[in-house]
Homo-oligomer: A and B are copies of this chain.
Amino acid sequence: MRARVTIVDVAQRAGVSISSASAALNDNPGVSDSTRARVRDAADQLGYVPSLRGRSLSSRRAFAVGLVVQRQTDVLESDPFFGALIGGIESVLADRGYALVLHMVERADAARDRYEQLAAGRRVDGVFLDELQNDDPRIAQMQRLELPAVAINPGPDFPLPAVRQHADEAIHDLIARFVAEGHRAIAHVSGAAGFVHTEQRISAWRSACAELGIDEGVLLAGDFTYDGGRAAAEQLLASGELPTAIFCANDLTAVGLMIRLQEAGLSIPGDVAIAGFDGIALGRYVRPQLTTILSAPREVGSAAATMLLDIVDRRAVEDIDVAPATLETRESTGSRTVRPRTGV
């Protein structure tokens, strides 16, 4: 490695002291304009870029924040939500000279260890908390570690700073739409047990049904996966009681459910209308195209990143609500033309 340009070189070249150079470069007050200009010129000419290592040690900052993605290791592959979230986060971090440290773990205890290490090693200045569970142990952990954290879509009255995208209204719109089309009971395939967003979607579905004065349909336990959707379909098929409309906790589940029902010879939406949640690209690739609740993970990500950096900078922050999710009606709901079954 070539000897790198340090602040000493810059100071020398500008003919000032190291401390003045530092102050000038960091836009700190107490430096004359001429000195500042001279220092900047020197830095430019030398191609000076401050070493994060030195900066980190002396300023007690890592200039990085962490995201621990906890799920099967193929999440990023099967669930596109994270990609968009990360993209949103990254767009903000980049502008502020921060980096994203990404960890992927399979189990919750491993995730907790990672947070512990990130904090203990002072590798990051803060973290994002995603996929919150009920009574999530990470809350206490963050408080104990005194590690700045921003939660993504936690429940109401969450004790840590949070970014939320509300979807209750969109879910209400969906159920209302189902009702308008003549459905008298709307089933729901839930997400994995224990997650806050699983319960939020269940209760939004419940209240909407109640408000609209229809039966709350059957509730099936899913797990946010394609196979979970298929399993739910099997269950419905075996029960002999097929709902006319089904709202799934996410798109992947809805697609699994839909395909399994189609394999059983059912027509979508003729025999059964189906809707998902998320708005992932896959929903447009299947036939019929999937009606869904459009979430905006990119916006959530950038809001969360902005908030986290503000906290790190010790600026006051308030919880952020990004624009609510919206109903995107596509082909898997809507036409109530009952077509004849096309085969087993």
Q: A interface vs B, CB < 8 Å?
A: 1-2, 4, 47, 49-54, 56-57, 60, 62, 64, 73-78, 80-84, 86-87, 90-91, 94, 99-105, 114, 117, 120-123, 146, 226, 255-256, 259, 262, 280-282, 284-287, 298
Contact A281/B80 with A1-B146, A57-B57 known, Cβ cut-off 8 Å: no
A117 touches B287 (CB 8 A): no
Known contacts A64-B101, A103-B94; decide if A49 and B87 are in contact (CB<8 Å).
no
Q: Contact: B51 with A121, CB < 8 Å?
A: yes
Residues of the B chain whose Cβ atoms lie less than 8 Å from the Cβ of A281: 74, 77-78, 226
Q: What residues of chain B lie closer than 8 Å to A121, measured between beta carbons? A: 49-52
Tell me if A74 and B53 are in contact (CB < 8 A): no
Q: How many copies does the complex hold?
A: 2
A183 to chain B, nearest CB (A): 25
Residue of B nearest to A49 (CB): B120
* Nearest CB of chain B from residue A4's CB, rounded to whole Å: 8
Asked if A49 and B298 make an inter-chain contact with CB atoms under 8 angstroms apart, the answer reads no
Contact B80 A78 (CB under 8 A): yes
For A83, give its contact among B49, B53, B74, B87 (CB under 8 Å).
B74
| Residue pair A73, B104 in contact (C-beta under 8 Å) | no
Residues of B near A122 (CB, < 8 A) are 4, 51-53
Write the nearest CB–CB distance from A264 to chain B, whole angstroms.
13
Q: How far is the CA of A76 from the CA of B123 in the complex (A)?
A: 25
The 6 closest A-B pairs by CB, nearest first: A76-B83, A49-B120, A77-B83, A77-B80, A73-B87, A53-B57
Q: Which residue of B lies closest to A255 (CB)?
A: B285
**Nearest Cβ on chain B to A6's Cβ, whole angstroms:** 11
| Chain B residue contacts of A104, Cβ below 8 A | 86-87, 90-91
Cβ distance A67 to chain B, nearest Cβ, rounded Å: 9
Chain B proximity of A56: nearest CB distance (Å): 4
Q: Which residues of B contact A256 (CB under 8 A)?
A: 285
B residues in contact with A77, CB < 8 Å: 80-81, 83-84, 87, 280-281
CB contacts (< 8 Å) of A57 on chain B: these are 53-54, 56-57
Q: Nearest Cβ distance between residue A250 and chain B, in whole angstroms?
A: 14
- Interface centre among A62, A86, A226, A287, by most chain B C-beta atoms within 10 angstroms, is A86
